[in-house]
Chains A and B, each alone.
Chain A
Amino acid sequence: MWRKLWLSVFVVGAALFISADMPCDWEDLKKQCQNELKPYKYYAFKVSKVNFGAESQFKEIQIPLFRDSEYRFIFNTSALPEDVKIQIWNAPARFEGRKLIYEAEQGKDIIIYDPPKTRINNRIYINYVIPASNKTELGESSL
């Protein structure tokens, strides 16, 4: 019964970004994403804290998926002082020959991605490419 139940579910994943240096209400960010959710049902969310620094950074998040479900991914980057590049890959960075499934357009606060079923397998890998940033300048701009 559970298998059938899950197969009929439309699910959504929300990723919320906050800068570790700045106060931020992640629950409000999550609420903003809920408007974009229909007709899908909630499945999971993840808050990613970003520490900007002098060096550019790379973060990888693995998302296990149910094989026969349809997914919507919503990214809310509105609390970030700088753009972060969001990419979705079919395999981890260490996997030679991995394929880029999606790259989000930069400059948008809320990004919605509905992957075609044929493009995702049992998991996806979200990569965040975080640019180098002068922390002092960011601190001043946030005051």
Chain B
Amino acid sequence: MGTIFNSNSILERFEKNIDNKDSVLFLVLEVEEQTDMYVERTNEEHTAMAIFTGAWLKEMYLGLLSYADSKNEELARRLFEQACLLDNIVAGMQIHPGDDPIIKSVTAKLEAIFKTITNTEAYQKGDFGLVENAIPSQAMTTLTKQIGTLRSNITQNKL
């Protein structure tokens, strides 16, 4: 995947245009398209799935930290919406080829995190992140702890 960044001097173009919002946007979209093409050509969808899982975890971690500071209800609704994507993420990770113990460990922890969501009243009443519900405060506390722990385990290589 490194070839994507080395080709056409993308990093150089990025540096030159860092102050130009439109140019940066074009470059981001170009990298995204080349990455998508690379994944499709090399049948690396499972790798893309693992990358997406990492991105989801990081975004949820930052969102939950922000909520802890602001108690912003709009943010709580968006977090519920994003948390409901976890069923697909777990399904994708479960079919990851091979027996990588780290993938298996992360998947098991994500399943436990998703239980926190499925245990909420909103989810059980049929809201899969499509209705404007916020994460209840008790579930928010549990999620913050679970996601914080998983993120720390990954970043500190303790899986």
Selected from A1, A41, A122, the residue in CB contact (under 8 A) with B81 is A122
User: B126 in the interface, Cβ–Cβ < 8 Å?
Assistant: yes
Q: Is the CB–CB distance between A45 and B36 below 8 Å? A: yes
Interface residues on A, range: 20 to 34
Query: How far apart sit A121 and B24, CA to CA, in the bound complex (Å)?
Result: 27
B132 to chain A, nearest CB (A): 9
Residues of A within 8 A of B (CB): 1, 5, 9, 26-27, 41-45, 47, 62, 64, 90-92, 95-96, 121-123
What are the nearest 5 A-B pairs in CB distance? A42-B33, A122-B81, A42-B29, A91-B130, A41-B29
Query: How far apart sit A90 and B126, CA to CA, in the bound complex (Å)?
Result: 14
User: B25 in the interface, Cβ–Cβ < 8 Å?
Assistant: yes
Query: How far apart sit A121 and B40, CA to CA, in the bound complex (Å)?
Result: 28
Selected from B26, B29, B37, the residue in CB contact (under 8 A) with A43 is B29
Q: Is the CB–CB distance between B29 and A1 below 8 Å? A: no
Q: Is the CB–CB distance between B88 and A62 below 8 Å? A: yes
Residues of B near A26 (CB, < 8 A) are 40
Q: Is the interface of A mostly helix, strand, loop or mixed?
A: mixed
Residues of A near B36 (CB, < 8 A) are 44-45
Residues 117-142 of B, flagged 1 when their CB comes within 8 A of A and 0 if not, give 00000000010111000000000000
Query: How far apart sit A71 and B26, CA to CA, in the bound complex (Å)?
Result: 17
Which residues B20-37 have CB closer than 8 A to chain A? 21, 24-26, 29, 32-33, 36-37
Residues 2-25 of B, flagged 1 when their CB comes within 8 A of A and 0 if not, give 000000000000000000010011
User: B154 in the interface, Cβ–Cβ < 8 Å?
Assistant: no
Q: Is the CB–CB distance between B128 and A64 below 8 Å? A: no
Q: Is the interface of B mostly helix, strand, loop or mixed?
A: helix
Query: How far apart sit A26 and B32, CA to CA, in the bound complex (Å)?
Result: 18
Q: Is the CB–CB distance between B33 and A1 below 8 Å? A: no
B6 to chain A, nearest CB (A): 21
Selected from B24, B40, B81, the residue in CB contact (under 8 A) with A47 is B40
Which residues B28-77 have CB closer than 8 A to chain A? 29, 32-33, 36-37, 40
- A96-B25 contact given A26-B40, A45-B36, CB 8 Å threshold: no
Residue of B with least CB distance to A67: B78
Residue of A with least CB distance to B21: A5
A-B contact list, 19 entries, CB within 8 Å:
A1-B21, A5-B24, A9-B25, A26-B40, A27-B37, A41-B29, A42-B29, A42-B32, A43-B29, A44-B32, A45-B40, A62-B88, A91-B130, A95-B128, A121-B130, A122-B81, A122-B129, A122-B130, A123-B129
